Structures are given as C-alpha cells and as structure tokens.
Amino acid sequence: MNSLQIRRTGAAVAAAVLLPFSLTACSDSPADPQAGATAAAGDPAGAGGSTPADALPVDQPFGPACAGVPKEGAGSFDGMAKDPVATAASNNPALSTLVAAVKKAGLVDTLNNAKDLTVFAPTNEAFAKIPKADLDKVLADKATLTKILTYHVVGRKLTPVQLENGSFETLQKGTVTTSGSGESYKVNDTSNVVCGNVRTANANVYIVDTVLMPK
C-alpha cells in the first residue's frame, strides 16, 4: 500500500468515527426553547437584523413651552393623546382662548370628528398680541373667525421632519409654510413653534406663539 492509499484510508476511518458525534450534536441543538427565548429577548430584531420601526422610541414633544404642560391628568401629554383634538385642547390651560374661539365658531365637532389633522394652536399669549378691540371684533364675526381658525389646520398629520421646508394647504384653502430643524421651527416666518409634536387621538399639534392670519 503506497502513502496516498494510507492517507485516504486514515481519512475514511476518521470520518466514520466522528460522524455519530456530529449527528448527535445536530439533533440536540434545538432542544432548549428557553435558550431561544432568551436570545430573542436580547436581540428583538433577530441575529444580525435591524430593530423593527415599531420598536424604536416614539418621538417626544419638544420646545420651551412644553414645560408648562401638566404632568398628569387630562391636560398632560398622555391625557391629550387619548382625546380628539378640540377636547384635548380644552384640557390644556395654555390654550383656553383658542378653545373659546373654536366654540364660538362652532368647530368643536368638526375638529373632533376629523381624521389625521395637524393643528397649529396659538397660545393665550399669542391671542394677547392682538389688540383687544380687534380680537373682540373677530370673535363676534363667525365667518371671519372660522376663516382664521381653519387656516391653522392642515388635513393630514405632519411630522417635525416634514416641517423643515414645507408648504401645506389648510382647511381654509390657504397655504402655510414651515421651516426649521431639530427642535426649532417657524410657521409663515412669523410664528415660532413653542411646543411641538403633541399627539392627540386624531391630530398632531404644534403650539405656536403667534396667531396665523390668512392672506
């Protein structure tokens, strides 16, 4: 027997000896479901995968005025997320003038029953910038008031990223423009978002420091 035949015979014997051990190891490997569950908990996306989108942290409200939002109850961020937008706003003390205007215009049901809105919601201080005589005149004129309020509403939910350089038709049929990035945004170059990305049951709300006026 030459050296080549000896090497081939030795390799065949080694394979025959190791094969039963290999088969035993393969048959035992999936027998521990707890190990699989532990691995899945440690890697929710699976081995080598990316984290699913719904497992990522949800965007949070941002801006200086967010600090004044109640920490708990119906007027908190969690509370507002459970109610439609007009009801949610009524529970936020910083929006009481806006809520009174919405009621005068008869828009409560319209806003609460709509789906997927974005509302640019002026604070009480925003309304206070308007001379009282002019504000009282507007509040007494339902047609004008409705025109102004519906100019603050876009018929789809907008994310902060979409506000970076945006132009959107409002329910009043006018257009609002938005600009900014990160946690700093402007609407129509005249109004600052002071608390943005506030979620309600049917709308995304961006609280602003100046009342928007349609052209």
Q: Are residues 33 and 68 in the same domain?
A: no
How much is the pLDDT for 33?
Answer: 40
Neighbours of 84 (CB within 10 A): 20
Residue 88 lies in a domain: yes
**Residue in the structure block whose two tokens are 């928007």:** 212
Residue 134 lies in a domain: yes
Residue 155 lies in a domain: yes
Look up the domain containing 13 and give its range.
3-43+47-52
How much is the pLDDT for 215?
Answer: 85
Residue 57 lies in a domain: no
pTM equals 0.73
CATH number of residue 104's parent domain: 2.30.180.10
Cα-to-chain-centroid distance, residue 2 = 76
Hey, which residues does 168 pair with through a beta bridge?
A: 176
**Tokens linked to 134:** 């002019």
Q: Are residues 69 and 174 in the same domain?
A: yes
Mean pLDDT for back-to-back runs of 10 residues, the chain (215 residues)? 44 40 40 41 40 49 94 94 97 96 97 97 97 95 98 97 97 98 96 98 98 94
From the CA atom positions of the chain, what is the Rg in Å?
30
110 three-class SS = helix
**Tokens linked to 191:** 């109004």
Cα-to-chain-centroid distance, residue 99 = 23
How much is the pLDDT for 59?
Answer: 80
CA dist., res. 116 & res. 102, Å (int):
18
Residue 215 lies in a domain: no
**Tokens linked to 94:** 């910083």
Q: Are residues 23 and 120 in the same domain?
A: no
Short-list 168, 158, 97, 181, CA closest to 132? 97
DSSP alpha helix (H) spans, 29-159: 33-42, 77-80, 85-90, 96-105, 108-113, 124-128, 132-140, 142-150
CA dist., res. 191 & res. 205, Å (int):
14
How much is the pLDDT for 167?
Answer: 98
